[in-house]
Amino acid sequence: MGVSGSGKTTIAGRLAAELGFAFADADAFHAAASVAKMARGEPLTDADREPWLRSLVAWTEVQHEAGRSTVLACSSLKRRYRDVLSAASPRSLFIHLTAPRAVLLERMKHRQGHFMPAQLLDSQLTELEPLAPDESGFTIDATVTPAAIVARAIEVVTRPAG
């Protein structure tokens, strides 16, 4: 989880490959109208996100019914979004990737072919509700190398419960 430019897709894809889990990028589940809205520089509303969240839940449920664990690259900016996702998959663990605004902005400015304009970063930072102490997850500094982030994530994800 995290705002645009935090490295969610890169890290989640690598993490899924390392663990042999199914992977999805939540951006691919947005309705065309939502993508167009963001591309125009308009932030999504909770109402815009409802069908998107339902589609993410449906994908997760299909994977779990097939016996596959999943990794989902998803902004999950608000606690209520994470609650929806967790309800569908009670063993959910959120990895919040964080970086300073300047780093995020620089990354967004240099991305090729992504619909999310850099001008929406501040709206995402405003909307972001960091993980609460009672949520299942942890935070990782996204300014270190992808390999270091994935190694740390694997360490936590594969740690025995207890």
Which residues have a Cβ under 8 Å from the Cβ of 109 and sit 6 or more positions away?
Answer: 118
pTM for the model: 0.86
- Integer Cα distance of 44 and 107 in angstroms: 21
Name the helix (H) or strand (E) containing 137.
strand 137-141
**pLDDT for 157 beyond 90:** no
Q: What is the pLDDT of residues 19-62, one digit of tens each?
A: 999 999 998 998 889 888 877 888 888 899 899 999 999 999 99
User: What pLDDT score was predicted for residue 112?
Assistant: 62
**What is the structure's pLDDT at 132?**
96
pLDDT tens for 96-128 read 999 998 998 887 776 565 555 666 778 888 999
Q: Which CATH class is domain 8-156?
A: alpha beta
